[in-house]
Amino acid sequence: MISEFGTLPDGTAVQEITLKKGFLEASVLTFGAVIRDLKVDGQSVVLGFEDLHSYLDHSAYFGVVAGRCANRIAGGKIKIEGETYQLDCNDGGLHHLHGGATGFSSRNWQVEQSDKASVLLKLVSEDGDMGYPGQVEALVRYTLTGSGALRVKISATTDKATPVNLTQHSYFNLDGSETILDHSLEIAAETYLPVDETLIPTGEVRRVEWTPFDFQDGRSLRRKPGEEDLQYDHNFCLAGEPRSSMGFAAALEDSSGERRMEVWTTEPGLQLYDAARLNVPVPGLGGKTYGPHAGLCLEAQRWPDSINQKEFTPVLLQPSQTYSHVTEFRFS
């Protein structure tokens, strides 16, 4: 079902598409390709808003598809085939974040196809958009599967070499609790990327053992003594390059252990953001308020700042190639 959700300042209508399959129900917006709500057996498991105004003024990338390049690019500078490009520096004026101030997450996508359980959205990003070279055509398909999964399939093509790294940026909270600190998280990664004080990877790939970044056996997100100031906004290394088929990346369970979500993906990286800095001044879904740790993001993607880090995963898309990314959020 498609309905009108609101109107952008330029008069463009934003549509909402409702999907249903089995015990899952999703609400998708054309604005930002946002997953506005995702219900499992009637329980909302993502953070979102009831109106478009809140998304325009207060959203911390809630439920969006972030791009043309998700995550951070140091100094907003990229070099391609000997030519340097300056991207929009929207991260405190220092770095490029999630595609820039008006990246894919703040554009109105077009509905290409839809049915009861699936919708295909399209966006065209022109040459020079946020400083990027080349025109990019991106597609994202959301599908609710009969086995209880939300499948996210993303593809993109370009007419000129350009970096492309798209991710689904939902904040998850599986039981509606005030914070996710008592959720249990497992991440299938032996290494992660340390970052500097501005959250740019240092270039080191460090093992997780004997560090607060070891989630291999699953554990609570609540801080241990001495870790009170620790914030998670780091890439976990699942593989050295994109995979040909989906592999297990992570599992999240609510505090009671009654609801579980697994993340399976073709992508080589998983960004964990625990929303330590979240502080939304307006009510969200169901009138809930969203403060620090109200949800967490598990963003399947290429490693951050890869365009500037030769040892990281490839992100440069050529005109002869098609970018492809599949991630499933599986609920039980």
* 161 residue type, one letter: A
Cα-trace Rg, the chain: 19
Of 95, 169, 234, 293, which is the active-site residue?
169
> 3 forms bridges with which residues in the sheet?
16
DSSP string across 283-323: --GGG----TTS-EEEEEESPTTGGG-TTS---EEPTT--E
User: Is 54 in a helix, a strand, or coil?
Assistant: helix
Q: What is the DSSP letter of 75?
A: G
The b/e string for 190-210 (b: 16+ C-beta within 10 A; e otherwise) is eebbebeeebbbeeebeebee
CB 92 within 8 A of CB 35: no
DSSP 289: -
Kindly state the helix (H) or strand (E) to which residue 55 belongs, with its residue range.
Answer: helix 52-58
CB 139 within 8 A of CB 42: no
Amino acid letter, 193:
L
Please tell me whether residue 307 adopts helix, strand or coil conformation.
helix
* 325 is a catalytic site residue: no
299 tagged catalytic: yes
186, 253, 267, 299: the catalytic one is 299
Contacts of 93 (CB under 8 A, 6+ apart): none
User: What is the rounded distance in angstroms from the CA atom of residue 249 to the CA atom of residue 300?
Assistant: 9
Token couple for 112: 């290409």
Extract the tokens encoding 116. Answer: 């009861």
Which pair of tokens denotes residue 109?
């996508």
Tell me which DSSP letter residue 53 carries.
H
Enzyme catalytic residues: 169, 299
